[in-house]
Every structure is written in structure tokens, then in C-alpha cells.
Amino acid sequence: MKFLSLLRAELQKTRRSGILWILLAAAVILWIPSILNAEMNFGMQAEGISPEHNFLIQGFMAMAWFMFPASMVVVTVLISQTERIHHGMLKMLALPVSTAKLCLAKFLVLVFYSGMGFLFSVGMYYVSAAIASRTQGYEFVLPPLFVMPEAAAVWASSVPMQAFFWMLAVCIRTPVFSIGTGLASIVPSVLMLNTSVWYLYPMAYPFFVITARYGELAENLSMETIEFFPWLSAAVLITLACLLISCFRFGRAERR
Amino acid sequence: MSLALECRKIKRTGLTAAFLGGELLASAVPVLNMAYRPELYLHREASPVNVLLGAGWQMMVMLNVLLIVTGACALYHMEYADNAILKMCSLPVKESGLFFGKAFLIAGLSAVFLLMEAVSVAGCAVRWFGTGREVCGEVLRNLGFSLLLLLPAILLALLIASVCKNMWIALGVGVIGVLIATMIPAGQFAASLFPFALPFRTLSGLEQETIRGYVTAGAAETAAISVLEIILLRVRRAFQ
């Protein structure tokens, strides 16, 4: 079975899961406070950031801190649980397909849904920025060429985190533990950013990227700037290690 | 009977261990705060308990609420997983009894959770602020207040889990509820009455009137969600 057709089959399995509605609802709820508190963006001009940039960055910060990692935990639950009902996993393992390929295809489904979550958030950003522009009489809408690279950077920086969550879902069979560990690991991510070894904690990456961008846009704020060493090497190593472990452990419990 | 049954059911789900792990993590928050940055907190004018709760309560309660949502999903998932709920329904046990058994179980686990946090806060107050035994009264008052405000969150998480047969939908809706709670600012009384947002409030800095408002709201929401669940179960049963 080719990898692409495997990927398509995995995507099809989640087609009727309703997960897209949950991602959409999260994106809608995320931007509602931004519309309601739109006038607060004018107060941030003292920091040297324009209101329209502040509007975008604040929304993305709220997303990168809790909503996005938590929704990724939910998607891992979806991917691992759909296969457990009626011993679906056993049937998949009986097929002449490499388990590592199967595991990677499922991981890519997770990455796909995270991308969808981002697209929903960007879409809702445009809707809320348009509404805020109307209510405040000030143009909050930024060009897509500015917004899309921002979103893409945060999304790309979240891949190691997703690999970590996927490893949790594969290695820990008890749902309470895999979900609990995933959700609990999100809570101290802001604390970890204040330590010198933040780059060893993948859950902090998306929030780091967006705060660094905040520091660049706000002239009077001094934030950490992005330095690719040792961050990038740590990120690549963590992603590879998590994927290797999950590929190795995938389906082990069922085959016993 | 339901409670005893529920206690036996969770034997191999890892729920107790997950709550214990979460408790240790949450109790470590004030200790770590005081151990690594005592200079930030030691010279404040507020009472030691208020300073400690102000510094770490958001994180502690968030862990607690997330565990409650996870626990509620897991408790109902084991009923739905292999249609065990149908077997439960054929027993001479009320479906609402099942719900309240689970609610008592999570409330008990949360009470232990809060107790450990209270011990940790009191210990920090004694160790770093040099307070005497009088701190126990203040900590216990906070504990009672938090437990009451947690009840609506527990019941709502269970209500969501009991309605959704798919675990990810229940978890997704619960997570969205927590997301809403994190976005509600402390000053807005009406908005902070949202069940998942209630536990984020502490006694510090609140006037007697507001405290009474929160206590009444906590009790009223607990009753309202219980009644709503009973109605929902009856309606679902009628259409099955």
C-alpha cells in the first residue's frame, strides 16, 4: 500500500468524527473577546505596537498558549480511539502494511488537523478584524501576506509538540494518563519559557514564537529574540525521538 | 450502592493515580514559587495565604479543572466503550444514580486534591512567612469555598461526558469550556459565574457580598445542572 493511499484511508476514518466542528467552535470562541475588547488595542500604542498588530498578536497568543495544544490532545484522542472501537487496530495490523508507515500516516493526520485549526483561526481572525474595524472605526485587517507567514511559523513550531502528544497517545494505553499528561504538560509552558532550558520543552515553542514576534513588533518591549541554535537542533532531535519511539511502540499492545 | 460500584470500576483506569499525580504537581506550584523566587512574594502587604494563592492558584486550579474534565470523560467512556451502559440500564439501578455516583467520586478525589494543595500552601506560609497555626483557619476557609465552587464544574463536565458518546467530542467540548473560563477576566461577576470559571476565584480581595453571591451561585448551579441531567436522561431514555 502506498503511503499516500494509506494517508487518505486514515483521513477518511476521521471524516465523520465531528472534530472539525470542535476546532471551528474553538476558533470562534477564541476571537470573541478580541472583538469585545477591541478598544484596548489602542492602549498598547505606548509599547510601540500598532493596534492592528496588537489585535493579531494577542489573539494568536491566546491560541498558542492553551487552545491550540489542548485541541491537539483532543485530536490524538480521536485518532487513537477510533481505531480501538471494534478492534479496528487488529484488523489494520493484519494487513500487509508496515506499522511504522501506519503510525506516521496517523501522525500526519494529526498535523493535518492542526493545520485546519490554524486555517480556521486565520479565517476567524479576518472575520473578527472586520467586525472590530466596523465597531471601532479603525482598520484592523492586516494583509494575508503578513498574517499567513505568522500563522505558518507558529504552526511549524508546533510540530515537535504534536510529535510529543502523539508519542503519549501511542505509548500510554490508558486514556486518562495520555490525556491527563498531555493537558497537564500545557499548564506550565509559560513558566518553562522563563527558564534557560525552555528549548527542551516542546509545549512552549508556539508560545515562544509568538511572544518573540510580539517583541519585534513592539519597539518598547524587550522579549527574547529567536535564536535558532540550540533551539532548532533540540526541536529536530525531540521530534525524531518522539516519532521513532511511537513508530517502535505502535501496535505493540495489540500484537501481544 | 452506586458510589461503591463506581469506586470498584475505576480500579484499573488509572484515575486515582492520575489525580494523585496532578495533586503532586499542583501542590508543588507554591513550593517551587517560594523556593526559586521568594523575593517576589516575601515583602508583600497581603496575608501569606493570599500572596501564595495569588501567585499560583490559576495554575493549580487549571490542573484541577483539566483533570476533572479528563476524569469525567474517562468515567463515561468506560460505560460507552463496549456498550456497558446498556447493561447498566438493564440493572435495577437508576441512570441518574450512575451520574451522581460518578459525581461523588470525582468530588471526593477533588476534595483530596484541594486538601493536598491546602497543606502545601499552609506549609509554605509557615516555612517562608513564619506564620503560626492561625493560618489553618484561613486555608480551610479557602478550601471549603473552592470545593463548593468546583461542584458545578464537576457536574457540568459529567453532564457533557454523559451526553456525548464519543470521548473526543466530550473532551473537546470540555476543553472549549476551560478555554472560555481562562478568557473571563476576574472583575466580571456575571461572566465568572460560568461553571468552569467559578473555581478560578479565591476568597482574597472579595467583599462579603460578592462571596455570598459566589456561594449562592455555586449552590444554585449545582442544583440546576443536577436537575438538567435528570431531565436529559429521562428524555434520552424515552427515545431509546
Taking the C-alpha atoms of residue B174 and residue B66, their distance in angstroms, rounded to an integer, is: 8
Mean pLDDT over residues B146-170, rounded?
93
Amino acid identity, position A27: A
**Residues of B in Cβ contact (< 8 Å) with A179:** 70, 73-74, 171
Greater pLDDT, A85 or B175: B175
**Residues of B in Cβ contact (< 8 Å) with A128:** none
Cell of A158: 508546533
Coil, helix or strand at residue B197: coil
- pLDDT at position B154 is 96
Cβ neighbours around A183 below 10 Å, total: 27
User: ipTM for the complex?
Assistant: 0.89
pTM of the entire structure?
0.91
Taking the C-alpha atoms of residue A217 and residue A87, their distance in angstroms, rounded to an integer, is: 51
**Testing the interface with B: which of A83, A124, A176, A192 to mutate, by most B Cβ within 10 A?**
A176
Handedness of CA A104, A105, A106, A111 (dihedral sign): positive
- pLDDT at position B1 is 61
Taking the C-alpha atoms of residue A59 and residue A32, their distance in angstroms, rounded to an integer, is: 10
Nearest-by-Cβ selection for A74 from B81, B171, B182: B171
Nearest-by-Cβ selection for B168 from A19, A33, A191: A19
**Residues of B in Cβ contact (< 8 Å) with A177:** 14, 17-18
| B63/A contact by beta carbon, under 8 A | yes
Nearest-by-Cβ selection for A17 from B15, B168, B171: B168
Tell me: the pLDDT tens digits for A48-88?
888 889 999 999 999 999 999 999 999 998 888 888 777 78
Q: How far is B3 from chain A (nearest CA, A)?
A: 20
Domain locations in chain A as residue ranges? 3-255
Taking the C-alpha atoms of residue B131 and residue B42, their distance in angstroms, rounded to an integer, is: 12
Tell me: the pLDDT tens digits for B180-211?
998 887 778 888 899 999 999 888 878 888 89
Nearest-by-Cβ selection for A176 from B71, B168, B172: B71
Cell of B224: 440546576
Cell of B60: 493549580
Taking the C-alpha atoms of residue B128 and residue A209, their distance in angstroms, rounded to an integer, is: 36
B169·A187 Cβ contact <8 A: no
Taking the C-alpha atoms of residue A175 and residue A78, their distance in angstroms, rounded to an integer, is: 11
Sequential DSSP letters for chain A = --HHHHHHHHHHHTTTS-HHHHHHHHHHHHHHHHHHTTTHHHHGGGGT--HHHHHHHHHHHHIIIIIHHHHHHHHHHHHHHHHHGGGHHHHHHHSS--HHHHHHHHHHHHHHHHHHHHHHHHHHHHHHHHHHHHHHTS--PPPHHHHHHHHHHHHHHTHHHHHHHHHHHHH--SHHHHHHHHHHHHTTHHHHHTSTTGGG-GGGHHHHHHHHHHHHH-TT---PPP-HHHHHHHHHHHHHHHHHHHHHHTTHHHH-
Lowest mean pLDDT among A230-239, B52-61, B81-90: B81-90
**Residues of A in Cβ contact (< 8 Å) with B18:** 176-177, 180
| B176/A contact by beta carbon, under 8 A | yes
Residue B215, C-beta contacts closer than 8 angstroms, at least 6 positions apart? B145, B148
B74·A30 Cβ contact <8 A: no
Greater pLDDT, A32 or B187: A32
Residue A241, C-beta contacts closer than 8 angstroms, at least 6 positions apart? none
B175·A78 Cβ contact <8 A: no
Q: Which contiguous run of DSSP H or E holds residue B234?
A: helix B208-239
- pLDDT at position A75 is 93
Q: Are A187 and B59 in contact (CB under 8 A)?
A: yes
Nearest-by-Cβ selection for A71 from B70, B169, B175: B175
User: If interface means Cβ-Cβ distance under 8 Å, which residues of chain A face chain B?
Assistant: 17-19, 22, 25-26, 29-30, 33, 62, 66-67, 70-71, 73-75, 77-78, 81, 85, 174-177, 179-180, 183-184, 187-188, 191
Between the two ends of chain A, the Cα-to-Cα distance in Å is 24
Distances (CA, A) of B137 to B26, B142, B143: 21, 9, 10
Let me know if B73 is exposed, middle or buried by CB neighbors in 10 A (0-12, 13-18, 19+).
buried
**Residues of A in Cβ contact (< 8 Å) with B15:** 176
Cell of A205: 515553542
B168·A66 Cβ contact <8 A: no
- pLDDT at position A205 is 92
In 3D space, the residue among A113, A116, A112, A124 whose CA is nearest the CA of residue A60 turns out to be A124
Mean pLDDT over residues A147-174, rounded?
92
Domain that holds residue B158: 2-239
A114-124 b/e with 16+ CB inside 10 Å = b? bebbbebbbeb
Question: Residue B133: is its pLDDT beyond 90?
Answer: no
**Residues of B in Cβ contact (< 8 Å) with A17:** 166, 168
Question: Residue A115: is its pLDDT beyond 70?
Answer: yes
Average pLDDT over chain B, rounded to whole?
89
Average pLDDT over chain A, rounded to whole?
89
Share of chain A above pLDDT 90, in %: 52
Tell me: the pLDDT tens digits for A226-241?
777 888 999 999 999 9
DSSP label of B19: H
| B83/A contact by beta carbon, under 8 A | no
Only one residue has cell 494517508, namely A7
Please give the tally of structural domains in chain B.
1
A179·B171 Cβ contact <8 A: yes
In 3D space, the residue among B44, B22, B37, B14 whose CA is nearest the CA of residue B120 turns out to be B22
Residue B181, C-beta contacts closer than 8 angstroms, at least 6 positions apart? B65, B194, B196, B197, B200
Cell of A70: 489542548
**Residues of A in Cβ contact (< 8 Å) with B168:** 17, 19, 22, 74-75, 77-78, 81
Tell me: the pLDDT tens digits for B94-127?
888 889 999 999 999 999 999 999 999 999 988 8
Distances (CA, A) of A118 to A27, A122, A238, B185: 8, 6, 22, 25
**Among all residues of chain B, which has the CA nearest to that of A33?**
B183
Lowest mean pLDDT among A108-117, B32-41, B67-76: B32-41
- pLDDT at position B218 is 94
**Residues of B in Cβ contact (< 8 Å) with A22:** 168-169, 172-173, 176
